[in-house]
Chain A
Amino acid sequence: MKVLLIDDEEDIRKIAKLAMEVVGHSQVTAAASASEGIALAKMNSPDVILMDMMMPGMDGLTALAEIQKIPQLANIPILFMTAKVQQIEINNYLARGAIGVIQKPFDPMMLCDQICILLNNDPVESN
């Protein structure tokens, strides 16, 4: 699975990348901002974009709308990985077209399984 991770927090990028690569055996590209992420997505065509919500410059929802406008990227499923998970916020993400939400703090050992389930695939065996 090719994952594009977009998060402005370097620590979180490092942890999530390690978790997905080593535990989830995925291929992960990481970007520190939404605009960098969109540029990387155009080059790499990821299977899924895992994106933070609160980011300086362009926030997650704006980035989602931008990605949906680009025909080449419009079909890539987008998951938000965020600490902003009040019910009203979650409803808003889903209404705008995100396919799921993973709550921060996340369990690094479960991250890939969660992504697979949200993508409606079977979890990857990762023991």
Chain B
Amino acid sequence: MHRAELETYQQFFNLTLDLLCTANSNLFFEQLNPAWETVLGWTRDELRSRPFITFIHPEDLEKTNQVASQLLDTSCKLVDFENRYLHKDGRWIHLSWVATVRNGVFFASARDITQSVATRTALASSAARLRTIIETAVDAIITFDKLGCIESVNHSASRIFGYQASELIGQNMKILMPSPYRKKDDGYHTKYHTIGERRVVGIGREVSAMHKDGTSFPADLSVSEYVIDGKKMYTGIIRDISGRKRLEKLKNEFISTVSHELRTPLTSIRGSLGLIAHGVTGILSARTQEYVDIALSNSERLVRLINNILDVEKMNSETIELQVQSLDLISVIKKAMVVNEAFVTAYHVKLSLIGDLPEKEMMVMADEDRLIQVLTNLISNAAKFSEERKLVELSVERIGDHIRVSVRDYGPGIPETFRRRIFQRFAQEDSSDTRKRGGTGLGLSISKALIEKMQGNIGFQSTVGSGSTFFFDLPQLPQSTTQDPVRAQRASRVLVKSRTRGSQFHDVIMTSFSRRKHS
């Protein structure tokens, strides 16, 4: 070999970033390039001073010894393997080796793969974690392609639908839907892929799913879309909600029964007291009249309390249904004033609509009965907390694209400490309030939920000693919007003015089918 050629090899040996070495059959290093010092921190003399196996991680010793023996026995063979070497600072450096033996001498090159091993371990651990999460998820998780062909399922999918994973993979998603829904999903795919309409993707919805045994069950389905290797794929998460549905049904039946059982005796009590109090059964002495009135007003309070508790329960379970339609807010306010006139008068308070009323209608989308319920609550609160002969003022104003309705009283105002709790259920300033004012502590909580359900906001301003203003804002509709006659017909209700003190909205509400008679 020429000298120049030798120098080139020497340079390559010295400059390469890989670790190059020779070692003898006594397992001592002989030649080591400078990269060893860079990678492991030891000097080459230190590395040569003891058998190389003393630098190897104890767990990798057996494997390394096997490789060394194998190389010595079958010389010339090239072997790949990995092990860990001790860095001078105590860390373990992962090395990937290629080694061979010639005439009892090891020739080997190694590369530091510590970083890629760490990455590989992290990836494997992350993949294992994800697999565990998916496999232990309570919901069925199914991936499928744009034609609905199932690519993977988790353990819960098998449990919920009763199939082995192998029975589902490769099948169409339709296998999991009862027949009336199969066609619908085809429609979705066609629609989605032709006009890009997202009917399912991204939105959770209730569907009917089908078990392997052919029985169907209610399920919540949400689908998300992703692209992998240029291929559009979907993940469906399906939750079996049969248990929840059964509970809901039981709860509804329970509420309906309790409500019925409470109202039936109350009907007799309230009815009898009503007839007695109004002299239908004979003239009463002033003293008897006073006590019968007390009994009557408390029976009415009990009715309100039952109605309010039922309303709160409906809000909790989100089963309350609003009959939303476009309404002229001013006419609703006027109706609410009529409904509450007797109640307000009983408190010797005057109800007044103040300010300049707009010339045109102020249209909002709302449920008329529920809006009157909210106004009734605000007006009756204002009346209860007003001093005698004071005004309760209603006003309407535009604020941006909303309409604000305010009910102002000149009562004692709301103490600072109570303001935070005022919209909470059963909130009363102090426990004696319930008796003193005859409220249930549920009105404002219900009003808040109702207004929010109608896309509005409710709030108040109050000054201790000067009074309070409760208001709600509803989004204003354009003038041209007209009432939906079908919806209005379906749910028209009739309100009748109460003649008795304390009688409120719920006592006098009836429902008619657009006053339709049998034909």
Q: Which of A84, A107, A108, A114 lies in contact with B280, CB distance below 8 A?
A: A108
On chain B, the residues within 8 Å of A78 by CB distance are: 518
On chain A, the residues within 8 Å of B269 by CB distance are: 105
Q: Which of A75, A103, A109 lies in contact with B506, CB distance below 8 A?
A: A103
In the complex, B507 has a CB within 8 A of chain A: yes
Binary CB contact string for chain A from 70 to 99 against chain B (1 if under 8 A, 0 otherwise): 000011111000111111111000100111
On chain A, the residues within 8 Å of B507 by CB distance are: 103, 105, 107
In the docked arrangement, what's the CA distance between A85 and B507, Å?
Answer: 12
Q: How many chain A residues touch the partner (CB < 8 A)?
A: 46
On chain A, the residues within 8 Å of B262 by CB distance are: 83
In the complex, B275 has a CB within 8 A of chain A: yes
On chain A, the residues within 8 Å of B278 by CB distance are: 23, 108-109
Query: Which of B252, B255, B303, B512 gathers most chain A CB within 10 Å?
Result: B512
On chain B, the residues within 8 Å of A9 by CB distance are: 264, 267-268
Binary CB contact string for chain B from 246 to 267 against chain A (1 if under 8 A, 0 otherwise): 0000001001100110111011
Q: How many chain B residues touch the partner (CB < 8 A)?
A: 44
On chain B, the residues within 8 Å of A41 by CB distance are: none
On chain A, the residues within 8 Å of B256 by CB distance are: 84, 86, 89
Check A113 against B515 for contact (C-beta < 8 Å).
no
On chain A, the residues within 8 Å of B255 by CB distance are: 86
Nearest Cβ on chain B to A33's Cβ, whole angstroms = 16
In the docked arrangement, what's the CA distance between A79 and B321, Å?
Answer: 23
| A86-B256, A117-B494 as given contacts; A99 in contact with B267, CB under 8 Å | no
Q: Which of A83, A89, A100 lies in contact with B512, CB distance below 8 A?
A: A100
| A11-B268, A105-B266, A108-B271 as given contacts; A54 in contact with B513, CB under 8 Å | no
Nearest Cβ on chain B to A113's Cβ, whole angstroms = 6
Of residues 28 through 61 on chain A, the ones whose CB sits less than 8 Å from some CB of chain B are 54
Of residues 253 through 301 on chain B, the ones whose CB sits less than 8 Å from some CB of chain A are 255-256, 259-260, 262-264, 266-272, 274-275, 278, 280-281, 299
Check B517 against A83 for contact (C-beta < 8 Å).
no
Q: Which of A12, A99, A101 lies in contact with B515, CB distance below 8 A?
A: A99
In the complex, A124 has a CB within 8 A of chain B: no
In the complex, B503 has a CB within 8 A of chain A: yes
Residue of A nearest to B494 (CB): A117
Of residues 102 through 119 on chain A, the ones whose CB sits less than 8 Å from some CB of chain B are 102-110, 113-114, 117-119
14 CB contacts below 8 A, A to B, read A12-B268, A15-B275, A18-B275, A22-B275, A23-B275, A74-B518, A82-B260, A83-B259, A84-B259, A99-B516, A105-B263, A108-B280, A109-B275, A109-B278
Closest 9 CB pairs of A and B: A83-B263, A15-B271, A100-B512, A11-B268, A105-B267, A105-B270, A94-B513, A120-B515, A104-B267
